[in-house]
């Protein structure tokens, strides 16, 4: 039986159509929820990355602060900072430079290649730095340098290094502390655009801490250098005090020596270079000290160096100092005599023995007042008053080519010729008395009298060794004198074979006769009086008359 088709109820059909035709596609609402969730997850991830980056940045800042507390040595500190930054930036090299006070050059504080372990020497001066090439003199903000600008660098050691390391990007960070530009930190990478985004933000964040580290390190270096100089100066002064030099030993009233003292009084207040000329043992060092003590620098250090007493290979180091590692055995930095004498006086004894190859550097130090230590390119400036001495004929050495003419002229500003002791016999009695009492006090002896014959012999002796020979003989005589009389071992004294003033074959009587004749000639024939022959020989007038009668000498001879 055929079933009749029953049409749907209008409402029912409408409801069915709405249900069938108006229903949302399957999963539509769930898709919107999923998209929203994905967006939220991405925001969370991004925020988490930002928080992680901020945390790492703060950790790096704290780490650098910790390095500041634990590392005072600049070399160790900057190396540690480079390593700490590398953990985040993975740079291929880092430099840290500071400007010299004159602005003409930069000083390299650090050049570190973490991957190649190539670290250059801190303290070297470089004529061409990254900041000078790419930033100019006025560094205000961080500078990013790309491969095109790097490739444009021509003809420099820096260009060779950058090409050798295949550097494609550089970031230059100016370091300011207390409103003052201390230097610039430069980082390089073999990748292009390496220092943009997070790395750029990080470097800007830590620049202040690194500037503080640089400021502290420079201050520490200055303090350490001052400390080293004070230690060297203290040791040097202790040695000087132990030698017991005194300008009171400048005993003498002879016309020749009075002329020398007058010259010293004239030149001492100035800063002129003084050249003391005279035989060995004439007291040139005492005269140099007298010049210093009468100058405006007397409150500062008097430093001396005997150029003939130092091995040739060490003279430069003694004069100008050296850096650690400058040569085999240089295990620490040494401050030279020029640095020790800053604002004081430097006495170079036996300047004629200075090696010819060192003379240009000495000339520059005198004229320009600047020099470099051995093993360093850092130029040091000093204010030193120079006093030189020699027993050599420098003019003759100039003609023979063994001494530089320009250095001779620079030293020969105010020459003072010191007479030998044989040309100032009038001073011998006073010198003998002075040294006798000096050594008697030191040895707790009582020497009350110097026999006339002894003094006469000492006056007649030609003294090839000058005052130094006299001083040593008196010291020995005090040791040999058990009683109140000074006993001089005259019989043991001998002249060197090449001494020309008196032949070694002369007898004691010949020496005695010649001494009296010399004294009479100097006094114009007068025996008595303050300038007579007796006073010059340290004898009584009656004693001299007796000797002249015994030797057959007339007063008119």
What is the model's pLDDT at position 113?
Answer: 67
Residues 286 and 144 in one domain: no
Does a structural domain hold residue 491? yes
Residues 453 and 532 in one domain: yes
Buried b (16+ CB within 10 A) or exposed e, 174-194: bbebeeebbbbbbbbbeeeeb
Residues 276 and 409 in one domain: yes
Residues 393 and 440 in one domain: no
Mark which of 221, 253, 273 sits at the end of a domain. 221
Most confident of 148-152, 308-312, 349-353: 349-353
Closest C-alpha to 300, from 251, 233, 249: 233
What is the model's pLDDT at position 525?
Answer: 81
Domain that holds residue 512: 422-551
Does a structural domain hold residue 374? yes
Residue range 3-42, pLDDT digits in tens? 444 455 444 444 444 444 445 555 555 566 677 777 777 7
Does a structural domain hold residue 32? no
pLDDT level of residue 325 (50, 70, 90 thresholds): confident
496 in Cβ contact with 464 (< 8 Å): yes
Does a structural domain hold residue 468? yes
CATH number of 383's domain:
3.40.50.300
136 in Cβ contact with 184 (< 8 Å): no
Count structural domains, the chain: 3
Residue with the bigger pLDDT between 315 and 99: it is: 315
- The torsion angle over the Cα atoms of residues 393, 396, 400 and 403, rounded to 10 degrees, is 50
Residue range 225-236, pLDDT digits in tens? 666 666 665 555
106 in Cβ contact with 97 (< 8 Å): yes
pTM > 0.75: yes or no:
no
Does a structural domain hold residue 496? yes
Report residue 159 as tokens.
């260009």
The rounded distance, in Å, linking the Cα atoms of 405 and 496 is 34
Residues 413 and 431 in one domain: no
Does a structural domain hold residue 380? yes
The rounded distance, in Å, linking the Cα atoms of 476 and 543 is 27
| DSSP designation for 351 | G
Residues 406 and 426 in one domain: no
CATH number of 478's domain:
1.10.8.60
What is the model's pLDDT at position 312?
Answer: 75
Residues 203 and 305 in one domain: no
pLDDT level of residue 400 (50, 70, 90 thresholds): very high
What is the model's pLDDT at position 291?
Answer: 94
| DSSP designation for 322 | B
CATH number of 64's domain:
3.30.450.40
β 106-113/125-126 pair status: antiparallel
The rounded distance, in Å, linking the Cα atoms of 437 and 49 is 90
Residues 344 and 388 in one domain: yes
Residues 62 and 138 in one domain: yes
Residues 283 and 410 in one domain: yes
β 93-99/106-113 pair status: antiparallel
Q: What share of the chain is helix, strand, coil (3-state, %, to 5)?
A: 50, 15, 35
Residues 293 and 414 in one domain: yes
What is the rounded radius of gyration, in angstroms, for the C-alpha atoms of the chain?
A: 43
Buried b (16+ CB within 10 A) or exposed e, 363-392: bebbeeeebbbbbbbeebebebbbbbbbbe
Residues 358 and 452 in one domain: no
Does a structural domain hold residue 234? no
Residue 444 has pLDDT above 50, yes or no: yes
Does a structural domain hold residue 30? no
């Amino acid at each position: 039986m055929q079933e009749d088709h029953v049409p749907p109820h209008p409402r029912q059909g409408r409801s069915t159509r709405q249900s069938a035709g108006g229903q949302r596609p399957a999963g539509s609402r769930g898709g919107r929820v999923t998209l929203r969730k994905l967006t939220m997850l991405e925001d969370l991830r991004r925020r988490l990355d930002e928080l992680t980056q901020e945390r790492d940045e703060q950790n790096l800042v704290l780490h650098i602060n910790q390095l500041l507390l634990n590392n005072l040595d600049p070399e160790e500190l900057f190396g540690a900072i480079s390593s700490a930054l590398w953990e985040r930036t993975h740079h291929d090299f880092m430099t840290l430079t500071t400007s010299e006070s004159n602005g003409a050059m930069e000083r390299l504080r650090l050049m570190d290649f973490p991957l190649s372990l190539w670290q250059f020497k801190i303290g070297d001066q470089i004529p061409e730095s990254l900041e000078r090439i790419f930033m100019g003199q006025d560094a205000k903000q961080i500078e990013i340098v790309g491969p095109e600008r790097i490739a444009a660098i021509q003809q420099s050691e820096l260009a060779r290094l950058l090409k050798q390391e295949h550097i494609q990007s550089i970031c230059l960070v100016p370091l300011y502390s207390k409103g003052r530009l201390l230097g610039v930190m430069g980082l390089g990478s073999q990748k292009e655009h390496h220092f943009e985004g997070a790395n750029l933000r990080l470097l800007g964040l830590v620049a202040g801490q690194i500037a503080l580290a640089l400021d502290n390190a420079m201050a520490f270096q200055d303090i350490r250098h001052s400390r080293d100089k004070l230690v060297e100066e203290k040791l040097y002064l202790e040695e000087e005090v132990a030698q017991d030099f005194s300008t009171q030993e400048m005993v003498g009233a002879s016309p020749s020596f009075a002329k020398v003292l007058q010259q010293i009084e004239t030149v001492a207040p100035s800063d002129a270079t003084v050249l003391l000329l005279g035989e060995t043992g004439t007291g040139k060092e005492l005269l140099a000290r007298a010049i210093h003590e009468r100058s405006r620098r007397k409150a500062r250090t008097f430093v001396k160096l005997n150029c003939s007493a130092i091995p040739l290979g060490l003279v430069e180091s003694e004069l100008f100092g050296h850096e650690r590692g400058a040569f085999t055995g240089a295990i620490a930095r040494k401050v030279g005599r020029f640095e020790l004498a800053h604002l004081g006086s430097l006495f170079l004894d036996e300047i004629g023995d200075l090696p010819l190859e060192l003379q240009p550097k000495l000339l520059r130090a005198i004229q320009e007042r600047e020099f470099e230590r051995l093993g360093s390119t850092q130029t040091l400036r000093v204010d030193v008053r120079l006093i030189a001495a020699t027993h050599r004929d420098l003019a003759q050495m100039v003609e023979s080519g063994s001494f530089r003419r320009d250095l001779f002229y620079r030293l020969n500003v105010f020459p003072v010729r010191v007479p030998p002791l044989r040309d100032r016999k009038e001073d011998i009695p006073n010198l003998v008395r002075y040294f006798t009492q000096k050594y008697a006090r030191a040895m707790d002896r009582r020497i009350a009298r110097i026999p006339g014959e002894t003094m006469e012999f000492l006056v007649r002796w030609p003294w090839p060794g000058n005052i130094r020979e006299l001083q040593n003989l008196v010291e020995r005589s005090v040791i040999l004198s058990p009683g109140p009389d000074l006993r001089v071992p005259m019989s043991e004294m001998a002249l060197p074979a090449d001494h020309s003033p008196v032949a070694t074959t002369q007898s004691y009587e010949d020496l005695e006769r010649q001494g009296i004749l010399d004294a009479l000639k100097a006094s114009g024939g007068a025996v008595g009086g303050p300038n007579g022959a007796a006073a010059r020989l340290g004898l009584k007038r009656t004693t001299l008359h007796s000797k002249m009668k015994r030797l057959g000498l007339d007063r008119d001879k």
